[in-house]
Amino acid sequence: MSGEVLVVDDDRPVREALTQTLELAEYRVRAVGSFIEAKDHIAPDFSGVILSDIRMPGRDGFHLLSYTRALDDELPVILLTGEGDIPMAVKAMGEGAFDFLEKPCAPDQLIPVLDRALKNRRLVLENRRLKAQLETGDPAARMLFGTSQLAEDMRQTVRQAARAGTEVLVTGPPGAGVSKVAEVIHLMSQGASGPFVKRAAAGLDPQALETAYAQAAGGNLFLDEILALPTASQYALLERLDPGGEARLIAGSTANLGQAAAEGRFNADLFYRLEVLRVRIPALSERPEDIPVLFRHYVAQAAEQAGLSSPEISPDHLAALMAQDWPGNARSLMSAAMRFVLGMPDNAAEAAELGLAEQMARVERSLLIAALGRQNGRAAQAAQALKLPRKTFYDKLARYGIRPEDYRR
């Protein structure tokens, strides 16, 4: 596991030997000779671990441990001890040191401890980031997770839609969370203090539509799967879409409304009116880099719901999740998280048992699809974004049976 290690040791030969060992193991190393020098590199958002000798002139490893604990009590500090320092090291563990190792320390002893500390640190920082999102006053950041550019673009569009005050169309593949996005738009809108009325469009006759609008007065009316709205109600709805009406409309659809309008299956005038302000939820296959953060969030939710502690999620498990297509999107990822918390078998566990070549092929395929989705099926731009020669890119598309035209919107 790669990561950053701050080495603190006043003995220059020892410091250089540790640096060489760790760099050969592909860690990023910063080495200093004293507590005073180390202070300049330690901050609450430090993403690595500290590896420090105990006995140093002036301020020793205990001073470093005390300083670090006061700054961030979850930042891992691993202490290196001499032969006679074991009781001292045990005392340091009681004061919050992550672990201690006796010098001289062989790489096969040192590397596993560092990997465990780095994994712990990454989980701590990720949990803090998620908690900060949940506590922010911005519902888009608090409720719509993801670190990809596509996720951020969606959050920005949601903010714009909430401010606009006009009708909004929310689209996305099945299971992507159309209803949740509609709720976020409501929470960020001027009508947030008013009601948020949800209705399934299927079978909603004009009179029921009138009633729904009255119930949503001063707030927002969400009509889910708007394509299923009866024809008479589509005309009635179009007549109600006046600026400054008693309720703002948010329409949701997992179907291609533009195609339906072109084929005469949906009122074209109503479609063009809704299409003016559209929020598109990208599929998970377009943004596999968001799967780990979403899965961790869903695991925490599932554990709280089941009254259980959150199990540790291995990097191999996350890699296996990223290698899947997830046609059910967020909904199926939530189900996978619940099965994971309950210890039930899951497709990701099966994927993790595949050979390295097949796992890498699945991840590569998902990244190719994601790039095409971001570039609206434009293969040349997708190849450029992935920094691949065009011929190599097309060879990979052919290998995986991927057609760029399938990702044009």
- What domains can be seen in the chain, in order of their start residue? 4-133 (3.40.50.2300), 139-280 (3.40.50.300), 285-407 (1.10.8.60)
120: left (phi over 0), alpha (psi -120 to 50) or beta: alpha
Looking at residue 50, its amino acid is: I
Q: Report H helices in 41-168.
A: 61-71, 86-94, 107-135, 139-143, 149-164
List residues bridging with 224 in a β-sheet.
200
Give the span between the Cα atoms of 46 and 275, in whole angstroms: 45
Q: Identify the three-state secondary structure at position 237.
A: helix
Structure tokens at 270: 């109503």
> What is the pLDDT tens value at each position of the chain, 409 positions in all?
568 999 999 889 988 999 999 999 889 999 999 888 988 888 888 889 999 988 888 888 888 988 998 899 889 999 888 766 667 767 777 778 888 888 888 888 899 999 888 888 887 787 676 566 555 557 676 668 788 888 989 999 999 999 888 899 999 999 999 999 999 999 888 888 888 999 999 999 999 999 999 999 989 999 999 999 999 999 999 988 876 668 899 999 999 999 999 999 999 999 999 999 999 999 998 888 899 889 998 998 888 877 777 888 887 788 888 888 888 999 999 989 988 887 776 655 454 455 556 666 766 777 787 788 778 788 888 888 888 888 888 888 888 888 888 777 6
- Angle of helix 390-400 relative to helix 356-374, nearest 10 degrees, comes to 110
CB 267 within 8 A of CB 231: yes
Q: What local confidence, expressed as pLDDT, does residue 395 receive?
A: 86
Q: How far apart are CA 120 and CA 113, in angstroms?
A: 11
Alpha helices, DSSP H only, in 241-378?
A: 257-262, 268-275, 291-306, 315-322, 329-342, 347-352, 356-374
Length of the chain (residues): 409
Question: Which residues lie across from 191 on neighbouring strands?
Answer: none
Q: What is the DSSP string of 175-230?
A: TS-HHHHHHHHHHHSTTTTS-EEEEE-TT--HHHHHHHHHHTTTSEEEEESGGGS-
Question: Which strand ranges, in their side-by-side order, compose the sheet holding 28-32?
Answer: 28-32, 4-8, 49-53, 77-81, 99-102
Q: SS3 of 44, please?
A: coil
Please provide residue 387's backbone torsions phi and psi, each rounded to the nearest 5 degrees: 60, 45
Distances (CA, A) of 257 to 85, 199, 237, 238: 72, 18, 16, 15
Per-residue CA distances from 338 to 126, 145, 288, 299, 344 (Å): 20, 18, 20, 7, 9
Backbone angles phi, psi at 283, to 5 degrees: -70, 155
401, 325 in Cβ contact below 8 A? Answer: no
Residue 225: predicted pLDDT: 96
**Cα–Cα distance for residue pair 189/389, rounded to 1 Å:** 45
Measured over all CA atoms, what is the biggest interatomic distance in the chain, rounded to whole angstroms?
Answer: 87
165 CB-contact burial (10 Å; exposed 0-12 / middle 13-18 / buried 19+): middle
Crossing angle of the two packed helices 356-374 and 149-164, in degrees rounded to 10 = 30
* Rounded Cα distance, 224 and 244, in Å: 22
